Amino acid sequence: MSTEPHVPTNRPPSAPGPLVVRPGKVVAVHVAYASRADQRGRRPAAPSYFLKPTSSLAATGGEVERPAGTELLAFEGEVALVIGEPARHVPVEKAWDHVSAVTAANDLGVYDLRWADKGSNVRSKGRDGYTPVGPALLDARAVDPAGLRLRTWVNGELVQEDTTDADALLFPFAQIVADLSQHLTLEKGDVILTGTPAGSSVVGPGDVVEVEVDAPAAPGAPTSGRLVTTVVQGDVPFGDIGAGPKIDDTQRAEAWGSREAAGLPAEPEPFALTDELADKLRRAPVAGLSAQLRRRGLNNVIIEGVRPNTPAATIVGRARTLRFVPNREDLFASHGGGYNAQKRAFDAVGAGEVIVIEARGETGSATLGDVLALRAKVRGAAGVVTDGGVRDFDAVAATGLAVFSKGAHPAVLGRRHVPWDTDVAVACGGATVLPGDVVVGDADGVVVIPPHLAEEVADATLAQEEQDAWVAQQVAAGHPVDGLFPPNAEWQARYESWKSQTERESR
């Protein structure tokens, strides 16, 4: 095997492709299209960026190599903007004036190398030839930035088609230019890659990728023409001097666009605390749930020492966690005031969720009061569990919010605690509680149930409760508990017979 590296035929000249000057920098947007964001399952609130080296630029009609030892080379058809006039601190309404031209680009990347990039994309997207552009420039003055169309073909099949109108883009091009100009000077010739829509996927040796940008509604329907790139196989292996290729199923799914496209089995449906399951858990006593969890090897799931602040209060919901650390004056000064973690937790709690507070069993200070309890109640929270104190005790009870605590205390938070973090693993009453765990409370206390066991444990508890009720009837009728509680084989057979008869009669 040859040890000489493959040199792509489109290795960048001084001014690659149609570009008039060699750019000083190439800036790329991580996610800008709604279709791509929805495909990934996350919509950014603001644009984010990475830099590509100018050595990655290439012209149309060339080759790009998939490095030896990798499998996930992906294409991304994109609209490229070329800066015509330097831009620094320009407002959105004037940003497009600094763009001289528009063209097609292919923001190629190797997903096998993403793990070590930490978002920089230096290894995965910075290789020679990984930013082909062209073949022609569209005059930015002659097109509407919201009236462009982007299309990508692989081996002649259309795989990406989207527009740049307000419904398609999360961030209009003028916003991207203006935002970048807040942080750095955009110089003449710089290239901005504006993100890719859904449809990006994996290509291999022999595949031909074509990208075109046009303005169908503009006079003459100007077009960039098709930017053509052919994939070839690289033959130089990576050495052991740095981070090499490494992939997992998550990278495969993201590179191909979906688990199905990557040939991976579908992920199981995420756990949902349905109304039906919540009703079962409300009918299942905590003592019974605890016994069923113990049968499954889970002994440390009781939040010790907490009791309902109002008689007959119950809780069923998913955990939303809040962690306090011991008070230290400098830390309370930096984390205790303003919109701190405690306030954020009560502002963010969702309907049916339970705020679980780690207070380290410290009862010499309160962990919530009436205002925060009211906020949680208004947001539909199922309740609060804290292994600390509660101030405004009667006022909290008056809100109707179910609260389990270690009792009342008049002192404010800062006497003993610093509100530190939310939505993390916490230790409440000696039990570890993860965000999303199922929390159930009644007069006996509070139990924490791993979500994947919730349905099974609820059903088993209710079945046991039915049997225990029958046993109680037998005891009330005068039978001794020996052999009956728990039932021996004879009594178990009698119960099964009674149960079958009851079910037949109820049909």
Annotated binding site for substrate: 369-372, 391
Task: Please return the burial class of 1, using the count of CB atoms within 10 Å of its CB with bins 0-12, 13-18 and 19+.
Answer: exposed
Q: Minimal CA–CA distance to 264: which of 279, 282, 280, 252?
A: 252
In the numeric block, which tokens belong to residue 111?
A: 């997903």
The answer to whether the CB of 401 falls within 8 A of the CB of 377 is yes
Q: Minimal CA–CA distance to 68: which of 245, 216, 200?
A: 245
The answer to whether the CB of 304 falls within 8 A of the CB of 404 is no
How does DSSP assign 127-148, residue by residue? STTSEEB-S-PEEGGGS-TTS-
Rounded Cα distance, 79 and 29, in Å: 11
In the numeric block, which tokens belong to residue 144?
A: 């509407």
How remote is the C-alpha of 11 from its chain's centroid? Answer: 38
The answer to whether the CB of 417 falls within 8 A of the CB of 386 is no
HSE-up (13 A, CA, CB side) for residue 341: 26
SS3 105: strand
Q: What is the 3-state secondary structure (H, E, C) of 147-197?
A: CCEEEEEECCEEEEEEECCCCCECCCHHHHHHHHHHHCCECCCCEEECCCC
Q: Minimal CA–CA distance to 326: which of 426, 428, 425, 419?
A: 419
Alpha carbon distance, N-terminus to C-terminus of the chain: 77
Question: Where is the binding site, in residues?
Answer: 369-372, 391-392
Question: Where is the binding site for Mg(2+), in residues?
Answer: 392
